Structure 1
Amino acid sequence: MAPFPSLPGTDLRLGRRELLLGGAAAGFALAVRPVAASTVTTATQGLTAGWVSVPAAGGAVRAYRARPVKGSGFPVVLVVQEIFGVHAYIQDVCRRLAQLGYLAIAPSLFDRQGDVTQLPDIPSILPLVATVPDAQVMADLDATAAWAAASGEGDVARLGITGFCWGGRITWLYAAHNPKLRAGVAWYGRLVGQATALQPLFPIDLIAKLKAPVLGLYAGQDDGIPNESVQQMQTALKAAGSPSRIEVFPGVPHGFHADYRPTYRAAAAAAGWTQMRAWFRANGVV
């Protein structure tokens, strides 16, 4: 197989050897196995990376954070998980951002409800995820940003957020929640849906309340997020005069950035990553 084309500005290594040796596979959620040969492993050289404990209401939250070894006061990016938890892919995204000079930190947002990384399939995961209140998630993200500031490692005056799938929806919500956020990048997060007591609002409901600009990166052939809902969001953003916008990548499926899954599309993933970096730079997350 041809080597993985590195995402711009990152130090990435093809993780096939590690997967064959069994080292990397252990870090992935049970529900996503077998892990694809295209999986990326980012070098930890020059980084401080690992789990930390974040004080939060209701008990401490585990979080995976990565930052450059040298320096302090780095711009902060909150990384929001998919439904599969803070497994190896989300940890690697943190390291990719750290290689670019960020303090990237991914809180484990389902821990109070259970450990989704140990569940065998999506039908087992979805009922647990449905019990996670949006209010709890917002509070835990706030606590994570506060930890970054108190640690001296991060400068939350330069705070950004990015999230994938489930975390894409949360990215939009957090942009409407935190007035100190500078920018968000949502990867194929749900935009409309059926409200529940625990998840009462969707991004389409919050356009007028967005406190930071969001770049949405969406798939043109997404089986779970209809194109009609993306077009509805684009129209609503334009009508509101919002600085937020959505980029649609034609011909690619949901999860096109997830290099450990068959849905991965290298060209779209690299292009989206480049756009994310430019969005953060343009909005002061640098």
Structure 2
Amino acid sequence: MTDTTDFDSLVPALPLSRRLFIVTALGAGFALSVQPVAAQTVITTNSAGLVAGEISVPAAGGEMPAYQAQPATGSGWPVILVVQEVFGVHDYVKDVCRRLAKFGYLAIAPELYARQGDPRQYSNVQELLDAVVSKVPDAQVMADLDACVAWARANGGNTAKLGITGFCWGGRITWLYSAYNPQVKAGVAWYGRLVGQTSELTPKQPLDVAASLHGPVLGLYGGADPGIPPDTVREMRQALAVAANPASKASRIHVYDGAPHAFHADYRPSYRKEEAEDGWWRLHAWFKQHGV
């Protein structure tokens, strides 16, 4: 059963309008705020041998749009939650789901801003942060990810083998959800911030939950990421190392020297092919090692 002690108390304080879905469908292409796209490096994974496409996930307040991919045959697939970058669910995130499905997973990426606004309409990153992202409560995100787990369980997924991965904004969420849901077997967090100010909507940061992970997390970080200073990585490593909790102690952080933030994002100038490919295979090995 999911432990929601740290988050549920926040939900009643949310205005009712924030509980209803503004976004009811996913768009095609990439978010306006990351244009122009570095088209020469975009990876496109086909859907051959897969069932992939947009779905609606029943959640508090209505139906949440999400993208899902799984093998076309069989059932009982391990489940991986894919948590979006700060830009929402666009073509890159969808492609990550298809890549995971090629490995034999049921991958699902929910649009976690769907109650607060449409990230596709903002051409300026700061405007997106101010107008949408800053209004998304962690409690809502945890509950929506739970809703995705329930959907996967009802649609052929084996949630006894549950993993989570996320990028940037979703990297932070990966740490938090791995401490929140006892079902999580393992997580892989791509350059998600580890420390920061807390608020009513974001009451904890990954460092605060380092000693209470349910599944071990592999952190993949860039050594030249100005938004995640090396001292915060060292602080997180130390917190994991001294934790009595076995899952926390088993967690690891790998830093790619010289790599920038978003080195896995193949549609952006920050993409670094060697580091991205190495991180992807580390992800695959990590999930297999920990029973996902």
Is 1:34 aligned to residue 36 of structure 2?
Answer: yes
Shift of 1:110: 0.2
- Indicate which of 107, 118, 124 corresponds to 1:121: 124
| 1:188 equivalent in structure 2 | 191
Kept in 1: contact 2:28–2:90 (CA 8 A): no
Q: Deviations over 1:208-238 (max 9, x none)?
A: 2211100000100001111110111011111
- Within the alignment, does 1:245 sit opposite 2:252 as a pair? yes
Structure 2 residue matching 1:155: 3-state secondary structure: strand
Structure 1 residue runs of 4 or more that deviate by more than 4 Å after TM superposition: none
* Aligned twin of 1:235: 238
Tell me what 2:176 maps to: 173
Using the aligned pairs only, state the percent identity: 61
Shift in Å, 1:26: 4.9
- Equivalent in the alignment of 1:146: 150
* In 2: Cα distance, 1:129 partner to 1:32 partner: 15
In 2: Cα distance, 1:253 partner to 1:177 partner: 29
Distance 2:218 2:144 in 1: 22
The whole-number CA distance in structure 2 between the counterparts of 1:158 and 1:59 is 27
* Whole-angstrom CA distance in 1 between matches of 2:93 and 2:226: 22
- By how many angstroms is 1:189 displaced? 0.2
Q: TM-score normalized by structure 1?
A: 0.89
Deviates more, 1:170-179 or 1:207-216: 207-216
Q: What is the aligned partner in structure 1 of residue 286 from structure 2? A: 279
The correspondence of residues 219-230 of structure 1 with structure 2, limited to 5 A, is 219-230=222-233
SS at match of 1:60: strand
Q: State the TM-score, normalizing by the size of structure 2.
A: 0.88
Helix, strand or coil: the match of 1:41? coil
Q: Which runs of no fewer than 5 residues in structure 2 stay unpaired? A: 1-26
CA distance in 1, matches of 2:86, 2:264: 15
**Structure 1 unaligned regions, length at least 5:** 1-24
Q: Which amino acid aligns with 1:99?
A: K
Task: Work out whether 1:258 is the aligned partner of 2:265.
Answer: yes
Q: CA deviation at 1:89?
A: 0.3
Q: Which amino acid aligns with 2:205?
A: F
- Alignment of 1:209 with 2:216, yes or no, is no
Q: 1:65 deviation in Å?
A: 0.2
